[in-house]
């Protein structure tokens, strides 16, 4: 079946611009996560959705970052007034919600954001 | 969640077993050990997880020491496609919690 997809795969923008990054999770997965990854580093947690609501947004670095998941499926990560330091690969993952001890997270290929 | 320590890089000959160590000396009783890997330019991929018993699946084996302070991920017959960064993560089980990632081990499988 289809995995997690992310669009665009690459985004180049100028400092100060607004960008939106989209994530399509695996069908039926109620949990959705956003991470970002800088070169040579492990992924860094940003936000986690359970259904439509943000269950944990403790990783969002500041109020320029915002994410939505209005219908509990597709999610959009929005970055306002982009800065050069926002350049990274933005990863999306989804997982099932259930009673098992662990639901593995399935990752998309990421969106590479470059802020000039 | 407990912190993990992994060597920054390792090499392995193709066809041989790759043994990737992870130290998690501050692990608590309800924390699991998870392994993910990330092939260049791809998203991370789940490999295996365990609590205290050794685990095996189609991808790898996970050996956890009796005191649970360290573990080893074993790829029994490494191939060139196993070249990736391998991340060991320790966290409490429970649905849908975030993963806290370290720097991982960059494994190079050589022909």
The pLDDT value recorded for residue A98 is 46
- Under 8 Å CB-to-CB from A25, ≥6 apart: which residues? A4, A32, A73, A74, A75, A92, A94
User: Residue A22: exposed, middle, or buried by beta-carbon count in 10 A (0-12, 13-18, 19+)?
Assistant: middle
Q: Is residue A76 over pLDDT 90?
A: yes
Query: B43 and chain A: CB distance < 8 Å anywhere?
Result: yes
For residue A75, what are the β-bridge partners?
Answer: A23
pLDDT at residue number B92: 76
Alpha-carbon gap, residue A12 to B24, rounded angstroms: 39
Q: At residue A87, what are phi and psi to the nearest 5 degrees?
A: -60, 125
Average pLDDT over residues A87-108: 83
Contact B96 A48 (CB under 8 A): yes
Establish if B92 touches chain A: CB-CB under 8 angstroms: no
A59 touches chain B (CB under 8 A): yes
Query: Under 8 Å CB-to-CB from A116, ≥6 apart: which residues?
Result: A12, A13, A14, A15, A84
Residue A99's pLDDT band (boundaries 50, 70, 90)?
very low
The secondary structure of B81-95 as a DSSP string is GG-EEEEEEEEE--T
Q: Does A53 touch chain B (CB under 8 A)?
A: no
Strand stretches in A40-95, DSSP E: 44-50, 53-56, 65-68, 75-79, 88-95
CB-closest option in A33, A105, A110 to B46: A105
CB of B45 less than 8 A from some CB of A: yes
Contact state of A4 with B43 under an 8 Å Cβ cutoff? yes
The helix/strand/coil state of A94 is strand
Mean of per-residue pLDDT scores for chain A: 93
Going through chain B in order, the beta strands assigned E by DSSP cover 9-13, 18-23, 31-38, 45-50, 55-56, 61-64, 70-75, 84-92, 105-110
B1, B95, B102: which to substitute to probe chain A, counting the most A Cβ within 10 Å?
A: B95
Contact at CB, A109 and B43, closer than 8 angstroms: yes
Contacts of A49 in chain B (CB under 8 A): none
Chain A residues with CB under 8 Å of B94 CB are 101
| Interchain proximity B98–A98, CB inside 8 Å | no
Taking CA atoms, what residue in B is nearest to A10? B41
Peptide bond into A110 cis (omega under 30): no
Please compute the mean of the pLDDT values over residues A28-50 and round it to a whole number: 93
* pLDDT single digits (tens) B62-111: 999 999 999 999 999 999 999 999 999 988 766 557 788 889 999 999 99
- A102 to chain B, any CB pair closer than 8 A? The answer is yes
pLDDT for B100: 85
CB pairs < 8 Å spanning A and B: 63
Tokens 């490999």 appear where?
Answer: B47
Closest CA to A39 of A6, A82, A88: A88
Q: Is the pLDDT of residue A73 over 80?
A: yes
Q: Provide the percentage of residues in chain A whose pLDDT is more than 70.
A: 95
Q: Is the pLDDT of residue A71 over 90?
A: yes
Greater pLDDT, A52 or B96: A52
């Amino acid at each position: 079946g289809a995995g997690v997809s992310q669009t665009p795969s690459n985004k180049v923008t100028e400092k100060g611009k607004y960008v939106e990054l989209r994530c399509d999770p695996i069908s039926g997965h109620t949990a959705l996560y956003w991470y970002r990854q800088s070169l040579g580093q492990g992924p860094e947690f940003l936000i986690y959705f359970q259904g439509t609501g943000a269950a944990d947004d403790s990783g969002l670095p500041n109020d320029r970052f915002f994410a939505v998941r209005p219908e509990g499926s597709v999610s959009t990560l929005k970055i306002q007034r982009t800065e050069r330091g926002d350049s990274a690969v933005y990863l999306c993952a989804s997982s099932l919600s259930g009673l098992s001890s662990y639901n593995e997270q399935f990752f998309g290929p990421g969106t590479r954001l470059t802020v000039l | 969640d407990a912190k993990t320590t992994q060597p920054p890089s390792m090499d392995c000959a193709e066809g041989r077993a790759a043994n990737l160590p992870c130290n998690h000396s501050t692990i608590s009783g309800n924390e699991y050990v998870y392994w993910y890997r990330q092939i260049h330019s791809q998203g991370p991929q789940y490999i295996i997880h365990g609590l205290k018993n050794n685990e095996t699946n189609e991808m790898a084996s996970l050996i956890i020491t009796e005191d649970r302070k360290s573990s080893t991920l074993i790829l029994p017959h490494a191939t060139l496609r196993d070249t990736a960064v391998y991340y060991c993560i320790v966290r409490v089980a429970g649905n849908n919690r975030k993963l806290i990632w370290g720097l991982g081990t960059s494994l190079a499988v050589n022909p």
